[in-house]
Structure 1
Amino acid sequence: MDVPELVPILIILLLIATSVALVSRKLGIPYVTGLVLAGLPINELLSRRVGLDPYLVLNLFLPILIFEAGINTDVSRLRSTFKPIALLAGPGAVASSAIIAVLLNFGLRLDWISASLLGVILANTDTVSMIAVFKDIPVPARLSTIVEGETLFNDAAALVLFNLILKVYSTGSLTFVEGIQELLFVALGGSLVGLVLGYLSIPVFARLNDPFSSLLLTVAVALGTSQVGQFLGVSGPVAVVVAGLIFGNLGLSQTDSAGDRLSLLSFWEYASFGVNTFIFLLIGIEINPVTLGKILPAVLLAFLAYQVGRIFTVYPLLAGVRWIDRAIPWRWQHLLFIGNIKGSLSMALALSLPTNLPGRENLIALVYGCVLVSLVGQGLSLPWLVKRLKLAKFSETRQQIEELQAQLMTGKAAQDELDSLLRAGVLPKAVYEEMRASYQVRVAGAEKALREIYNRRPDTLDATKGDRSLLDAIRRHLLLAEKGALNQASRKQILSGEVVRSRLQNIDEQLLKLEDD
C-alpha cells in the first residue's frame, strides 16, 4: 500500500481506537475486545484491504511486546515463581498442543501436520486482557507474576515448536533425537544470543547521558536481537526475552537519573499499548463474518479442543507444584484456565502457514474464528470472573500500609534525585537543603506510622490473610536477597558448597511457609 493511501487509513484507525477506548471504559468491557468488535465492519468501509502482515507482527510488533514485558519483569519475583511458570510454558505448552492436535485430528479429520500446527497456535495464550483487568482489580502479586511470566515464555515456546513442526513438514521426517537436538539448539542458542547482546548493551547505555539516545539504543537492542537470532538460526523471541530481562534488571540501574528511567519505561509502555491497539483492531478487520458463519461448527469444536487441552495441563501440573514449591490455590487455577485467551501471535502464526499446505485458507479462517470467540466470550466474562473468585483481599490495614509505603518510597526517590542534582551542580546547596528537609518530614512521618502499625500486637495486625501476606511479601524479599548473597559467595568460592546448600535449603523451607502475596 502506498504512503498517500496509508496515511488516511492510519488516521481512521486511530480515531476508531480512541472512540473504542471511550466506549469500552463506559461499558466496562476490555479494551482489546472492543477493538476486535470495532474492526469487524471496517473492511467494508475501506477502499483498500488492510490487515495483519505476519512478517510485520513477527519481526516488529512481537519483539516490541516481548522486550517491553522483559524490562518490566523483576527477576527476583520471576525467580520466586519460576517453577509454576516453567511448568506452564514448557511441558504445559507441549502437552496442550498435543491434546489439541489429537482432538482436531479425530474431530475435524485434519492430517497430523495441520492438526499439530493448529495445536501449537491454539495452545498459545495472550494475557493482554488479563493484565488489563488486573490494573483495575488488584490481585495477589504472585498470581500476576505467574500470568505475565507464562505469556513471556509461552510466546517463545510457541514459535520454537511451530518452526520445529514446519521443519518436519519441509523435510518429510525428523527423528525424536534430532527433534530434541534442534529444540535445544534453538532455545539455548537464543538464550546465549540474548545474554551476549543484553550484556553488551549495558556499558553502552551507561555511557549515554542523553535520554533520547538511550531510547534509540533500547529499540535497536529489541529489534536487533530478534534479527540476529533469526540470522543465526536460533530463536529470536527467546533472545529478546533474555535481553529484555538483563537490560531491565541490570541496565536501567546504570543511570542515576530517575527521570531518564521513567522516560524510558514510559516510552516502552506507550509503544506496547500502541502495538496492541493496532494488532487487535487489525484482528477484527481480518475476520470475515460471512466466512466465520459457514465454519462456525468447526470453530466451536476447535474452541472446545483448546479448552480441554488447557484443563488437562493447568490443573494436573499446578496440583503437583505443592511438592516442589508453594501450592497454587484452586481459585488461581480457575483464573489461569478461563484466562486462556487467544490473540495476536495466534493470528500471526496462522498467516505464516506455508502457502503449499493443504487447506491453508480454511485453517486460517478457523484460527480467526477461535480468536474472535475467545476474545468476546472469555474476554467479556473475565472481569466478572475475577470479582466472583474474590481474589483481591484488600483490607483497610493493608491499604493504609501501602499508602504509607508509597509515601515513603516517593520521598526517598525524590531525595535520591536531589542528591544527584546536587552532585551534578544543578542545585545550590541552600536550595538543596531546604527541599531535602521538606521531603525528610514526609519520610519521617511515613516511617513513624509504619513502625506503629508493625509494632501492634500480632493478633491485631494479622486479622486478615491480606495483612499477613503483606508482611510475608517483605520477608520473602529479604529471604531472596539472602539467597542471592549465598549464590554470589558460592560463585566466588568464599563459602564452601556444603555450607551454601545447607543454608539455601533452610531458606527454601522458610519461603514455602510464607503466605502468597
Structure 2
Amino acid sequence: MQIITMVLILLLAVTVSGFIVRLSPVALPLPLIQIATGAIIASFSPFDVSLDPAIFFLLFIPPLLFLDGWRIPKEAFFLDMKPILMLAIGLVIFTVVGMGFLIDWLIPAIPLPVAFALAAILSPTDPVAVSAIASKTPIPPRLMHILEGESLLNDASGLVCFRFAVLAALTGSFSLAKASWTFMLVAGGGALIGIVLTYTINLANRWLIRQTGEEPGVQIMISLLIPFAAYLTAEHLNASGILAAVTAGVTMHYSDLTGHTLAATRMQRRTVWDTVQMILNGIMFMLLGLQLPRILESIEEIAIDTGIASLAHLSAYIVCITFALTTLRLIWVWASLKLTLFGKKGNVADKKSFPRLLLVTAFAGVRGAITLAGILTLPLTMLDGTDFPARDLVIFLAMGVILLSLIVASIALPILAAGFEFSEPVAQINKETVARNAAASAAIRRVEDLYRGISNDQPESLVQMEAAMHVIELYRRRLAHGLRQNGSQSHHIRELDVERQMRIEALRAERDQLYQLRLNRQLDDVLHRQLVHEIDLIETALTKQKQH
C-alpha cells in the first residue's frame, strides 16, 4: 500500500509541475521544477524511496531508449550522420578518458575504475531536458535533430562504457584488448537481438491482425512490451540490453513504414507513448529531488569517509567537473563541426553562424535522466561483500553535475538560441511541396479509378459521381494552389498557414455550437461525442501541420 501511495503522489507531482511551469511568468525549465518538487515531497513525506538498482534500470531505460530509436527522424539522422557519430561516439570516448583521469587526480578518494565509471555515466546528454529548457526559445530543427541523434547513440555508448568500468571496479582488472572484443560481441549481439526480436514480433502481429482484425488497445500494449522483451532477452543472453532497446525502436519505425496500421491506432499509440515519456522523465527527476535531502544530510559522513574537508570542497568538485565536461565538449564540438559541417567547400551551412552554433551545441550537453538512472545502479557491495568504494560520493557528484548543468543551460541556452538560425541541408529544401503534390496526384488517380467504376445502373450512382467529382476538385485546387506560386515558397507557406488557421477557427466554432446544442438537449450524448470526435481529429491534424 505504501508503494502504491508513493507512486500516486509522484504521478500527481509530475502533473502539478507541468502546470507550475506553464503558469510561471518566468521561463523555468521543467526538470528543475520537478527536482525541487521531489525535494519538497521528501522533506514532508514519511516515505523512504529506495529502489533496487537493477529494477530501477529495467523500469526506466528500455522504454526511453526504445522511444528515442523509434521517433528520431531517420533521414535527418543519416544526412548529418558524420557530426552525430563524432559527438555520440568520439565525444563519449574523449569524455570518459579525459574526465576519468581528471576525477582520479582531482579526488584521490575515488579509485580510477570508479572515476571512469562516473565519467562514463556523465557522458550521455539529455535532449528532453534541452527541449524543456529551450521550449520558449526553440533550437533550430536541424540542430535539434543532431542533438537527438547524439543522445540516442551516446546513451548506448556511455552506458556500455559505464558497465565495463563498473565491472573493472568489481574485479580489479581491465584488459583493453579483451574489453574491445567483448564490447563488439555485447554490442553486436544486443543490436542483432533488438532487430530480430522486433521484426519477428511484428511479423507475427501482422498475421494475427489479418486473421482477427486490428484492435488499437492490443497494438498499443504490444508496442509497450517490445522494449522490455528486447532488453530482457539481450541481458539473458549476456548481450547489451541497452542497444537491444535502441535497435528495437529503430526496427519498429521501419516496420511501421511497411505496415498498414489504422489511423486510430497510430493516434492513440502516439498519445500513450507521449504520456509514458512524460511520466518516466518526470518521475526520474522527482526521484533525484527525493534523494537530495537524504544526501545533504549525509554530506558530513561522506566527507569524513572519503577524507574531504567540507561541503565547500564537495561543491567545488561539482563545479570543476561540470566546467571540465563543458570545456571538453566545447573542444570536441569545435573539432567535429570543423571537420564535418564546415570543413568542405560549398557546404550549405552558413559559416558566420559557427560561433553561435558551437556555443549552443556545447551548452546543450545537459546531463539528465540517463545519468541519474545509471548512477543509481552502482552496486552496493563488491564481490567480497565489502562496500562499493566511494559510492555515495560518486552519486552525490553525479547529482550535483546534473543540477548545475541544468541551471547553467537554463540561463545560457535561451540567450544563445534567441533568433538563431541554422540552415537545413539542400536535400531537405522544397521536399514538403513535392511530397504534398505527389500525394494529391495519387489521391486524384485513386478517386478517378473509383469514379470510372461507378455503374449508372446503381440507385446511388448520381450521389457517388457528385461526391467523386467534389473530392477530385478539392485535390486539383490543392495542386493548383501549390504550383501557381512561381517559386515563391515563403509566400506559399504563409498562405497555407493563414488558411490552416482559418480552418481551425471554423472547426472550433463548429465544436462550440455542438456543445451548445447538447446543453440545450438538442443532441444526445452518443451523437454529440461522435461529431466532436470527428472535429477533434481534423483539428489535431491541422495543429500538427502547423507545429511542423
TM-score range, shorter chain: 0.7 to 0.9
- Check conservation: 1:104, 1:305, Cα contact below 8 A: no
CA gap 1:433/1:104 in 2 versus in 1, 3 angstroms? farther
Partner residue, 2:377: 352
Partner residue, 1:277: 282
Q: SS of the counterpart of 1:234?
A: coil
Once residues 415 and 40 of structure 1 are traced to their aligned partners in structure 2, the CA distance between those partners, rounded to angstroms, is 59
2:34 maps to a residue whose letter is L
Whether 2:44 is the aligned partner of 1:18: answer: no
1:176-232 Cα offsets, whole Å, 9 max, x none, are 211210111111111111121122122123233222221122122111000111111
CA gap 1:448/1:119 in 2 versus in 1, 3 angstroms? same
Partner residue, 2:230: 225
1:462-500 Cα offsets, whole Å, 9 max, x none, are 99xx99xxxxxxxxxxxxxxxxxxxxxxxxxxxxxxxxx
Once residues 465 and 136 of structure 2 are traced to their aligned partners in structure 1, the CA distance between those partners, rounded to angstroms, is 39
Once residues 291 and 377 of structure 1 are traced to their aligned partners in structure 2, the CA distance between those partners, rounded to angstroms, is 26
Partner residue, 1:391: 421
- Check conservation: 2:138, 2:417, Cα contact below 8 A: no
Unaligned runs of at least 5 residues, structure 2: 300-310, 381-386, 452-459, 495-547
- Check conservation: 1:51, 1:283, Cα contact below 8 A: no
Whether 2:146 is the aligned partner of 1:121: answer: no
CA gap 1:51/1:403 in 2 versus in 1, 3 angstroms? farther
Q: SS of the counterpart of 2:484?
A: helix
1:58 maps to a residue whose letter is F
Aligned length: 449
CA gap 1:340/1:411 in 2 versus in 1, 3 angstroms? same
Whether 2:218 is the aligned partner of 1:213: answer: yes
Whether 2:374 is the aligned partner of 1:374: answer: no
TM-score (norm 2): 0.73
1:241 maps to a residue whose letter is V
1:166 maps to a residue whose letter is V
Partner residue, 1:491: none
Q: CA deviation at 1:385?
A: 2.8
CA gap 1:406/1:76 in 2 versus in 1, 3 angstroms? closer
Larger radius of gyration: 2
Q: CA deviation at 1:305?
A: 2.2
Partner residue, 2:190: 190
Whether 2:327 is the aligned partner of 1:308: answer: yes
Partner residue, 1:262: 267
1:315 maps to a residue whose letter is W
- Check conservation: 2:31, 2:132, Cα contact below 8 A: no
2:421 maps to a residue whose letter is L
Q: Show the 5 A alignment for 1:168-179.
A: 168-179=168-179
Once residues 443 and 53 of structure 2 are traced to their aligned partners in structure 1, the CA distance between those partners, rounded to angstroms, is 44
Bigger drift between 326-335 and 432-441 goes to 432-441
- Check conservation: 2:14, 2:279, Cα contact below 8 A: no
Whether 2:102 is the aligned partner of 1:103: answer: yes
Once residues 326 and 271 of structure 2 are traced to their aligned partners in structure 1, the CA distance between those partners, rounded to angstroms, is 35
Whether 2:333 is the aligned partner of 1:334: answer: no
Partner residue, 1:245: 250
Whether 2:481 is the aligned partner of 1:449: answer: yes
Whether 2:77 is the aligned partner of 1:47: answer: no
List 4+ stretches of structure 1 deviating above 4 A.
133-139, 289-294, 322-329, 401-419, 428-442, 460-463
Once residues 269 and 447 of structure 2 are traced to their aligned partners in structure 1, the CA distance between those partners, rounded to angstroms, is 20
Once residues 174 and 137 of structure 1 are traced to their aligned partners in structure 2, the CA distance between those partners, rounded to angstroms, is 45
CA gap 1:403/1:229 in 2 versus in 1, 3 angstroms? closer
CA gap 1:39/1:52 in 2 versus in 1, 3 angstroms? farther
Q: SS of the counterpart of 1:23?
A: helix
Whether 2:121 is the aligned partner of 1:89: answer: no
Once residues 138 and 441 of structure 2 are traced to their aligned partners in structure 1, the CA distance between those partners, rounded to angstroms, is 25
1:23-52 Cα offsets, whole Å, 9 max, x none, are 212322222221112222211111111256
CA gap 1:146/1:40 in 2 versus in 1, 3 angstroms? same
Partner residue, 1:486: none
1:247-270 Cα offsets, whole Å, 9 max, x none, are 112235412522222222222222
Partner residue, 2:167: 167
Once residues 266 and 415 of structure 1 are traced to their aligned partners in structure 2, the CA distance between those partners, rounded to angstroms, is 31
2:182 maps to a residue whose letter is E
- Check conservation: 1:90, 1:154, Cα contact below 8 A: yes
Bigger drift between 313-322 and 289-298 goes to 289-298
Q: CA deviation at 1:286?
A: 1.4
1:116 maps to a residue whose letter is F
Bigger drift between 13-22 and 84-93 goes to 13-22
1:60 maps to a residue whose letter is L
1:447 maps to a residue whose letter is L
Q: CA deviation at 1:407?
A: 8.6
Q: SS of the counterpart of 2:418?
A: helix
